[in-house]
Amino acid sequence: MLLSLVRRGVAPYRRHVAVVVLMQFLGTVAALTLPSLNADIIDRGIVTGDIGYIWRHGALMLLVSLAQVACTITAVWFAARTAMAFGRDTRSRIFERVGTFSAREVQHFGAPSLITRETNDVQQVQMLVVMAGTLAVAAPIMMVGSVLMALREDVGLSWLLVAVVPALGVSIGFIVSRMVPSFRLMQVRIDEVNRLLREQITGVRVVRAFVREQHETERFAQANDELTGVAVTAGRWMAGMFPVVMLVANVSTVAVVWFGGHRVESGAMEIGAITAYIAYLMQVVMSVMMATFMLMMVPRAAVCAERITEVLATDTSVVPPAEPVRETVERGTLRLESVDFAYPGADVAVLHDVSLEAGPGRTLAIVGSTGAGKSTLVNLVPRLFDATSGRVLVGGVDVRRLDPEVLWSRIGLVPQKAFLFSGTVASNLRHGKADATEQEMWEALEVAQARDFVEALPEGLEAPVAQAGTNFSGGQKQRLAIARAVVRRPEIYLFDDSFSALDLTTDARLRAALAPITRDATVVVVAQRVSTIRDADEILVLEDGRVVGRGTHDELLAGCGTYQEIVASQFSAQEAS
């Protein structure tokens, strides 16, 4: 997963990668030449007392150092280029893919999860690419190079290298294998502690109302102790890491001097080679350590890559038409013909055999308890979902054949949860109608009963709207969302339980103001309150995804049991009549 994602993402930057590898290679060669030159200084300069030789080789070492820094910087440049381009392209691919998703896929992943995948997960994988460009490429080259150079100095000591690398690998591996489970457990414990704190803060009133502070403190103390326990264990292993690596490295240095000394004595090796050998050995140790750190990052990035790939591999369930119809044939009509809707793999259908018809100047209301399928029904109209069977027709055309842009331009949707975009009041209204004039906007606000509070804002229409509209109250957001649909003057209004956040007086005034402007439009209202919908031309009663009653308020009151129950729950008998 990780590999194929990275390979695919990096493919366009093949040349960059080639430069990185080449430069890291050259840089490593340069780095490795230094100890060898140093050995030459000792063997041919010092031992023979040739000071000129020492100077000349010193200058050579300087040149090599310069070459090395130039190569490494070039490699860093191209590695950063590649990694950041990879991140940008991957983000872009995810964003475009999510853009094609229908509400079903978004629901499947959940918006917060999609956001995390697009941001945090990409960041993680990108980080790995950066590290790969600098460390992962350099480490093996460095290791192989060091071994080769060491062999060049003296083949007889090569068994030392053979011994050191596994020794290092085993000791680091041992510590890491102990550390990783501790760290994993520690994350669980941290989550636990954070959860308790979050509960205490969000539930502060309940905790105090029931005088349970003591109990909460005890609960927390236990979680805190558990976390501390595992953190201490993890930390102790961690503390051992560096000393152990140093010990292995240092012991092997001692070994080089001892065994190297014997070989120098026997004339198999020059004295300068000892110093060089130590230097190469250290390089090997370093590269093994770098490789280990790199490997420690891989599992986490692999999980992220998997989550990213999952998004990229998901196809939308709402496929745009190949040959879209660009015109509707009727104005503002809406028809559902025996529509079924079920989530894939679910036993129970959300909607079953639902038919309805609505046209301009008529108000269709849909009532039913939570989970009856009301919102799903509304979402079928703008094709946020596709019906499993049956047809949805807008303006006389099957929505699956309509050009999505045309379809959406006919609809004004006010969702259940009012959602505003960051920007200004005006920019939000312009989402409804891009070229809305100030006057049109004020009119829409007036209808939506939002004029008063917008006027009261010092900046008026230009008042800022924070992300998700958090600087407005629930009722205000809802009214602005309604205004956004109204300013559009669509053929079909879809109000998905849009009035519940309003107090009853405002609700009543709003409905009165809506009446004249929706005279030529089709209005579909989902509602909980009977008072909101009792005047609708037709009321559809949904229960468990089926239509169990349809008719006017009075007709249903006379003949539909479910409707009677709903009404009875809201009014006492004489008020309903």
Partner 1 sequence: MTAATEREDGKDGRLEETERVQAGPGPGRGPFGGGMVGGKPSDFRASARRLAGMLAPHRAKVWGVGVLTLASVVLMSLAPRILGHATDLVFAGLVGSRFPEGMSKDDAVAATRAGGDDTVADMLASMDVVPGQGVDFDAVARVLLGVLAVYVLASLLSWLAGFLLNDVVQATVRRMRSDVEDKVHRLPLSYVDRQPRGELLSRATNDIDNVSQSLQQTMGQLLTSVLTVVAVLSMMVWISPLLALIALVSVPVSILLTSRVMKRSQGMFIQQWRVTGRLNAHIEETFSGHALVKVFGRQREAQRVFDEQNADLHDAAFKAQFVSGLVMPIMMFVGNLNYVVVAVVGGIRVASGQLSLGEVQAFVQYTRQFTQPLSQIASMLNLMQSGVASAERVFELLDAEEESPEPPYDAGAGDGPGEVRFEHVSFAYDPDRPLIEDLSLVADPGHTVAIVGPTGAGKTTLVNLVMRFYELDGGRITLDGVDVATLPRSVLRSRIGMVLQDTWLFEGTIRDNIAYGRPDAGEEEVLRAARATFVDRFVHSLPDGYDTVVDEEGGSLSAGERQLVTIARAFLSDPALLILDEATSAVDTRTEVLLQQAMAALRTDRTSFVIAHRLSTIRDADLILVMRDGGIVEQGDHEGLLARDGEYAALYRSQFETA
Which positions from 387 through 416 interact with partner 1, judged by CB under 8 A?
404-405, 408-409, 411, 413, 415
Sole binder of partner 1 in the list 139, 480, 501, 547 (CB under 8 A): 501
Sole binder of partner 1 in the list 254, 295, 329, 558 (CB under 8 A): 254
b (16+ CB within 10 A) / e for 332-361: bbbbbbebebbbeeeeebbbbebebebbbe
Sole binder of partner 1 in the list 1, 151, 264, 296 (CB under 8 A): 264
Sole binder of partner 1 in the list 87, 145, 373, 545 (CB under 8 A): 87
Amino acid symbol at 334: L
The stretch near partner 1 (CB under 8 A) out of 290-298, 387-395, 463-471, 516-524 is: 463-471
* Binding of partner 1 by 250 (CB under 8 A): yes
Residues 134-153 that bind partner 1 (CB under 8 A): 134
d(CA 390, CA 338): 5
The stretch near partner 1 (CB under 8 A) out of 151-159, 187-195, 298-306, 544-552 is: 187-195
Helix (H) or strand (E) holding 240: helix 213-265
Answer positive or negative: Cα dihedral of 261, 267, 271, 272.
negative
The four Cα atoms 86, 87, 93, 95 give a dihedral, to 10 degrees, of: -170
First to last CA, the chain: 65
By C-beta, is 148 or 466 nearer to partner 1? 466
Minimum distance between the CB of residue 515 and partner 1, rounded to whole angstroms?
A: 9
* Binding of partner 1 by 67 (CB under 8 A): no
The 368-387 site mask, x for binding partner 1 (CB under 8 A), equals: xxxx-------x--x-x---
The stretch near partner 1 (CB under 8 A) out of 8-16, 110-118, 144-152, 320-328 is: 110-118
Whether the CB-CB separation of 561 and 388 falls below 8 Å is answered with no
* Binding of partner 1 by 232 (CB under 8 A): yes
Residues 14-33 that bind partner 1 (CB under 8 A): 31
Q: Is 486 helix (H, G, I), strand (E, B) or coil?
A: helix
* Binding of partner 1 by 174 (CB under 8 A): no
Whether the CB-CB separation of 340 and 353 falls below 8 Å is answered with yes
Task: Pick the closest to residue 522 from 419, 430, 386, 413 (CA basis).
Answer: 413
The stretch near partner 1 (CB under 8 A) out of 82-90, 148-156, 288-296, 389-397 is: 82-90
Amino acid symbol at 270: E
Whether the CB-CB separation of 41 and 33 falls below 8 Å is answered with no
Helix (H) or strand (E) holding 355: strand 351-358
d(CA 153, CA 145): 12
The bridge status of strand 538-543 relative to strand 546-551 is: antiparallel
* Binding of partner 1 by 4 (CB under 8 A): no
- Cβ count within 10 A of residue 577: 8
The stretch near partner 1 (CB under 8 A) out of 13-21, 107-115, 319-327, 442-450 is: 107-115
Task: Pick the closest to residue 310 from 318, 302, 300 (CA basis).
Answer: 302
* Binding of partner 1 by 549 (CB under 8 A): no
Number of residues that bind partner 1 (CB under 8 A): 167
d(CA 128, CA 462): 43
The stretch near partner 1 (CB under 8 A) out of 12-20, 341-349, 386-394, 560-568 is: 560-568
By C-beta, is 144 or 286 nearer to partner 1? 286
* Binding of partner 1 by 247 (CB under 8 A): yes
Sole binder of partner 1 in the list 156, 199, 298, 552 (CB under 8 A): 199
Sole binder of partner 1 in the list 1, 21, 22, 54 (CB under 8 A): 54
d(CA 457, CA 238): 57
**Which tokens go with 360?**
């301009």
* Binding of partner 1 by 366 (CB under 8 A): no
Residues 276-295 that bind partner 1 (CB under 8 A): 278-279, 282
Phi and psi, residue 69, nearest 5°? -65, -35
By C-beta, is 177 or 194 nearer to partner 1? 194
Minimum distance between the CB of residue 88 and partner 1, rounded to whole angstroms?
A: 4
Sole binder of partner 1 in the list 452, 520, 535, 537 (CB under 8 A): 535
**Which tokens go with 505?**
């007086």
Sole binder of partner 1 in the list 9, 45, 145, 395 (CB under 8 A): 45
By C-beta, is 338 or 565 nearer to partner 1? 565
* Binding of partner 1 by 163 (CB under 8 A): no
* Binding of partner 1 by 206 (CB under 8 A): yes
Q: Is 64 helix (H, G, I), strand (E, B) or coil?
A: helix
Minimum distance between the CB of residue 167 and partner 1, rounded to whole angstroms?
A: 14
By C-beta, is 174 or 419 nearer to partner 1? 419
* Binding of partner 1 by 427 (CB under 8 A): no
* Binding of partner 1 by 198 (CB under 8 A): yes
* Binding of partner 1 by 42 (CB under 8 A): yes
Residues 320-349 that bind partner 1 (CB under 8 A): none
d(CA 410, CA 498): 19
Minimum distance between the CB of residue 161 and partner 1, rounded to whole angstroms?
A: 19
Strand order in the sheet with 334-341: 351-358, 334-341, 389-394, 397-398
SS (H, E, C) 291-336: HHHHHHHHHHHHHHHHHHHHHHCCCCCCCCCCCCECCCCCCCCEEE
Q: Is 424 helix (H, G, I), strand (E, B) or coil?
A: strand
Phi and psi, residue 272, nearest 5°? -65, -25
